[in-house]
């Protein structure tokens, strides 16, 4: 059952209870909001454990209430793993820390340069900067002209979502390891790894820069696992060559961030590959491209 139907209950306006689905917490560069509907049917239903190796904003993990008995979120960027740990174990302290953090350019700029002293302060400021910046990049204040999104988004909605994610994380383990150690540690026959590594071109955050990401090391590591992997990547010659021995399908979608910009970049399409070490083509074409199979 998908999250849209989940029944997390949180306080809404006027103290009334309302349902907030745990679909996501933050936008993250390379977040798979638009790809998850293609990925979801390709996840086998007989898996014993579900691992997000490059967790980021964990859009696929949060797409369902539960994928497997054991679920693990991993990311090498400790700002993310601290964020999810604090949401999991200290949601009330985080809410207290954030209670006066409403949308403000001055606060945004202060938090960019003063990351905070305690773990909870750091997480609160990180969450503030990511959620109120342009495209979730944590760089520039997310000014909006026409809607109430960006920097002016509702603080109450943000907190409600944090509580929904707190419930969703109840049994999810959180790890902060390099992908190779992580995969080796959790690999077994019934294991499933969703891998969404940095793209082979630029774009990323300073902490886990895409520039030095070793794509060959990832391929070599995945090639020898006992479990199954599903991998999403930019559609490039390099990726096609690295994974030529595996099944792959192509997906074309609107480029999330660019599409929110005006001018030439609006409505630009972005091509991605979905790759696996088990059969996916038939399910994919059956579901999405009946005529082009």
Ligand X SMILES: C[S@@+](CC[C@H](N)C(=O)[O-])C[C@H]1O[C@@H](n2cnc3c(N)ncnc32)[C@H](O)[C@@H]1O
Q: Which residue number, 209 or 261, has a Cβ lying nearer to ligand X? A: 209
* Residue 256 engages ligand X in binding (rule: CB under 6 A): no
Residues 275 and 245: their CA atoms lie apart, in Å, by 10
**Two tokens, residue 228:** 């199954």
* Residue 138 engages ligand X in binding (rule: CB under 6 A): no
Residues 284 and 287: their CA atoms lie apart, in Å, by 5
* Residue 97 engages ligand X in binding (rule: CB under 6 A): no
**Two tokens, residue 207:** 């902490």
* Residue 50 engages ligand X in binding (rule: CB under 6 A): no
Residues 139-198 that bind ligand X (CB under 6 A): 178-179, 196-198
Q: Residue from 76, 84, 163, 186 that binds ligand X (CB under 6 A)? A: 76
CB of 291 to ligand X, least distance (A): 29
CB of 272 to ligand X, least distance (A): 11
* Residue 213 engages ligand X in binding (rule: CB under 6 A): yes
Strand partners, 248: 275
Q: Residue from 8, 49, 208, 277 that binds ligand X (CB under 6 A)? A: 208
Q: Residue from 47, 57, 151, 239 that binds ligand X (CB under 6 A)? A: 57
* Residue 71 engages ligand X in binding (rule: CB under 6 A): no
CB of 55 to ligand X, least distance (A): 6
Per-residue CA distances from 93 to 96, 153, 170, 172 (Å) = 5, 21, 17, 20
Instruction: From 30-38, 112-120, 261-269, 275-283, give the range in contact with ligand X by CB under 6 A.
Output: 30-38
CB of 290 to ligand X, least distance (A): 27
Greatest CA separation for the chain: 57
CB of 258 to ligand X, least distance (A): 16
Return the closest-CA partner of residue 234 out of 265, 262, 217, 255. Answer: 255
CB of 102 to ligand X, least distance (A): 25
Instruction: From 15-23, 25-33, 110-118, 147-155, give the range in contact with ligand X by CB under 6 A.
Output: 25-33
Q: Residue from 6, 20, 47, 59 that binds ligand X (CB under 6 A)? A: 59
* Residue 215 engages ligand X in binding (rule: CB under 6 A): no
Q: Which residue number, 97 or 204, has a Cβ lying nearer to ligand X? A: 204
Q: Which residue number, 26 or 94, has a Cβ lying nearer to ligand X? A: 26
Q: Which residue number, 39 or 107, has a Cβ lying nearer to ligand X? A: 39
Q: Binding residues for ligand X, per CB under 6 A?
A: 28, 30-32, 54, 56-59, 75-77, 178-179, 196-198, 208, 213
């Amino acid at each position: 059952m998908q999250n849209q139907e989940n029944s997390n209950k949180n306080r809404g306006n006027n103290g009334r209870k309302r349902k907030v689905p745990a679909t996501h917490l933050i936008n993250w560069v390379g977040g798979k909001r638009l790809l998850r509907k293609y990925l979801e049917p390709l996840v086998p239903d007989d898996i014993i454990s579900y691992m997000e190796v490059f967790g980021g904003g964990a859009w696929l993990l949060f797409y369902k209430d539960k994928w497997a008995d054991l679920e693990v979120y991993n990311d090498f960027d400790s700002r993310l793993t601290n964020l999810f740990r604090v949401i999991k174990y200290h949601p009330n302290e985080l809410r207290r820390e954030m209670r006066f953090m409403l949308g403000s350019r001055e606060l945004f700029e202060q938090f960019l340069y003063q990351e905070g002293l305690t773990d909870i302060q750091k997480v609160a400021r990180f969450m503030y900067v990511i959620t109120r910046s342009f495209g979730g990049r944590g760089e520039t204040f997310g000014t909006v002209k026409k809607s109430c999104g960006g920097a002016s988004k509702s603080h109450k909605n943000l907190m409600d979502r944090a509580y929904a994610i707190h419930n969703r994380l109840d049994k999810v383990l959180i790890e902060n390891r390099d992908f190779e150690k992580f995969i080796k540690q959790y690999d077994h026959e019934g294991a499933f790894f969703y891998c969404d590594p940095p793209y082979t071109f630029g774009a990323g955050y300073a902490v886990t820069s895409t520039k030095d990401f070793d794509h060959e090391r990832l391929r070599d590591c995945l090639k020898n696992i006992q479990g199954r992997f599903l991998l999403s990547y930019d559609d490039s010659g390099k990726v096609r060559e690295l994974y030529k021995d595996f099944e792959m399908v192509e997906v074309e979608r609107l480029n999330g961030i660019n599409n929110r910009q005006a001018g030439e970049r609006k409505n630009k399409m972005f091509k991605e590959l979905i790759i696996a070490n088990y059969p996916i083509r038939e399910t994919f074409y059956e579901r999405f491209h009946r005529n082009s199979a």
